[in-house]
Amino acid sequence: MFHRSPCHIMKSLLMLAAVWTFVSFSACAGAPQYESVCGAADETDCKDDSALFQSALRPAIRLEENMRSPVEWDPDLLERPCLLEWMKETQTSTEQVCSDDPRNNIKSDKGNYIQFTRREDRLMYNVWQNALQDCIIGESYVRDIVASFAERTSCFKTETELLDDESMYVPAKELVDGRIVVNGESSKVLCKGSSKTASQTQLHVQLDLFRNLVSQWDHNGDTKNRTSVCKDMLSAHVLSEYAFIGVLWSTRPAACNTTAAFYDQSLCKASEKYLLDFLSRDLFAQTGGGFKGRAAKGENERAERCKEKVLKGRKWYEVLSMDIGITEENTKCSVATEASVFPEPVVKGTNHYDQANNIIADAYRQCGAPLVAGISGTMPQYLASAAAGPTKQGYQFSKALSEKEVLTLMSMLELAGFHAMTGLTMGVNFYYKKMVVTPPFDSGAFEGPHDGIIRCHDHETHCCTNSTKVGGFYNHQVYLEMIQAWEQKVQELWPAGVSSF
C-alpha cells in the first residue's frame, strides 16, 4: 500500500519570471518525503521501502544551493537510469510501475507520468468501444467520418504535380529567446504532398479503399456483419494498406470538390480557414530544430539513449504493436482491452518524438500533462475533413460535428499513440471557438493575430512556469480537471454505453 510520511514539507518559492524559472527549497530539517510502497503503518518500517519511489524521482524540493541554476528538463528524471535498468536496480515490480494509485509518481523514459498515460488510454478506449457499438447498431457518424476521408478532393493538377499557391501557406515562425519571430519564410499546410501518395493514380486507388469500407457499411444491415467493417473503419487511418497520411497531405476536404454533388463553397472555405488559422498559432513555432514541444535530434540525449535500448537498432516505424494508446510499451503498462482495436500490428507514434527543453515542453512537463509529439496538427486536419465531408453539405462549419464525432476522431489519434489529450483538446476548442474542456494551457484567444505563445489556465499554482514539485509530482491539478471533464462528457454522451472507467 502507499504511505505518506508525517513529515510536513514547508515550501518557499522564488519566482524568477524573467527567465521562466521557479525554484524552491525545503524548510524541513529532514530529507524530502515521498509517497512510498510499503506494508507498514509505522514510518520506521517504511524507510527501506520508500527508496522505490525516492530513487525514481529525486527530491522534489530543491535545496538552496541549486537555486542559482535555471531548472531544465526534469532534473529528477535526468538522474534516473532508463526505466528497465532502474526497475532492476531497485527491484521495483511492474505492478508498482504500472499502478493507477494517484500517488504513483513514476515516469516513463519519455518523461510522462505512467498513471496519466494509462488513464488517457482507458478514456479513449472507452470512446472507441462506444463508437464501435454505435456503428454496429446503425448510427452513421463513424461511417460519415470515413466517407469524409474517402471523398477528399485531389490536390493533383497533373498526374504527379500538386496545386501550389500562396493561400496554401502560413508564415513560418521561430521561438528565439522566449519570443516569437516571423522569419520571412512560409510553410505549406494545404496540399503539401507525400511520398506515400506520389501520383493521381495512386491517390485514386487509396481513396477507393476507403470508399469500399463505406460501401460495405451501407450494404450490411446485419449487425453481426457490421462488426468487422466498423472495426476496420475505426482503424483504417493507421493501417499501412490505406496510407492515409499520404491521402491527407495530397487532398483537400470533400466540400472543396467543385465537380461533386456535395460541393459546398462556404464549407470548403471555412474548413481550410480553420486549418490555416490554427496551424499558424504561436505554439507551432520552430524551436531550434524542434517543433510543438518536440525535441530536435540530439537535444534530449537521455530519451534518445533509452529509446535506442528499446529499438535495438530498428527504425521507430519498423516497430509494430497491437497495444493501444500513448503508454510506452517498454514499461509493460499498456492497458489491457477486451477487444483488439487494430486488426493487425501497427506503427505507434510513441516510438518517435522526444520531449524538448523549451517553454512549450516545459508547460506540458510542469503541468503534468503527457506529451506525445506535442500540439496536434493532425487533429485539426481530421476535424476539418469530417466537418466538410460529403454528408455535411449546408452545415455551418463550427456546428457540423457532434461531440461523439469529435471524441471518435480524438480516440483514433490517441489509441494509435500519435498524440496525447492536451494536444488534441486544443484543436477541438479552436474548432468550436469555446472551451469545451479547459486544458492546462493553450495559445491564447481564439480570434485575432496576437494569440501569444502560452496562455496558462492554472491560476493557482501557475504550472506552466512553475517547476516545483510536491510528492514527486509537478503541479498537475488543472490537467487532472481536464481529464475528469472529458470522462464526465463521455459518460453523459453514452449514459448506457460500454464503460472501462
Q: Supply the pLDDT for residue 93.
A: 95
User: What are the residues whose beta carbons fall under 8 Å from the beta carbon of 373, sequence distance 6 or more?
Assistant: 292, 294, 349, 352, 353, 418, 419, 423
pLDDT(491) > 90: yes
pLDDT more than 90, % of the chain: 67
User: CA nearest 371: which of 415, 421, 437?
Assistant: 421
User: What are the residues whose beta carbons fall under 8 Å from the beta carbon of 362, sequence distance 6 or more?
Assistant: 20, 464, 465, 467
pLDDT more than 70, % of the chain: 84
pLDDT(172) > 60: yes
Lowest-pLDDT range of 69-78, 174-183, 334-343, 456-465: 69-78
Q: Supply the pLDDT for residue 458.
A: 96
Q: Supply the pLDDT for residue 422.
A: 96
User: CA nearest 379: which of 415, 342, 426, 434?
Assistant: 426
* Spatial distance between the Cα atoms of 129 and 133, rounded to a whole number of angstroms: 6
Cell of 349: 507514434
In one letter, which amino acid is 477?
A: Q
Tell me the mean pLDDT in the region 285-299.
82
pTM of the model: 0.84
Cα three-residue angle 423-426-429, rounded to 5 degrees: 150
DSSP bridge partners of 254: none
* Spatial distance between the Cα atoms of 355 and 186, rounded to a whole number of angstroms: 25
* Spatial distance between the Cα atoms of 240 and 332, rounded to a whole number of angstroms: 25
> How far, CA to CA in Å, does 355 sit from each of 37, 45, 343, 365, 373?
28, 38, 30, 9, 8
Q: Supply the pLDDT for residue 470.
A: 93
Tell me the mean pLDDT in the region 126-134.
96
User: CA nearest 370: which of 121, 102, 169, 197?
Assistant: 121
Q: Supply the pLDDT for residue 291.
A: 75
**pLDDT bucket at 330, cuts 50 / 70 / 90:** confident
Lowest-pLDDT range of 116-125, 340-349, 393-402: 340-349
Tell me the mean pLDDT in the region 84-106.
95
User: What are the residues whose beta carbons fall under 8 Å from the beta carbon of 247, sequence distance 6 or more?
Assistant: 149, 152, 197, 203, 206, 207, 210
Segment 27-78, tens digit of pLDDT: 332 332 222 233 323 333 333 333 333 333 333 322 222 222 345 789 999 9
Instruction: Please say whether the beta carbons of 462 and 470 come within 8 A.
Output: no
205-225 in b/e form (b: 16+ CB < 10 A) is ebbebbbebbebbeebeeeee
pLDDT(20) > 50: no
Segment 441-466, tens digit of pLDDT: 998 888 766 556 789 999 999 999 99
Tell me the mean pLDDT in the region 234-252.
95
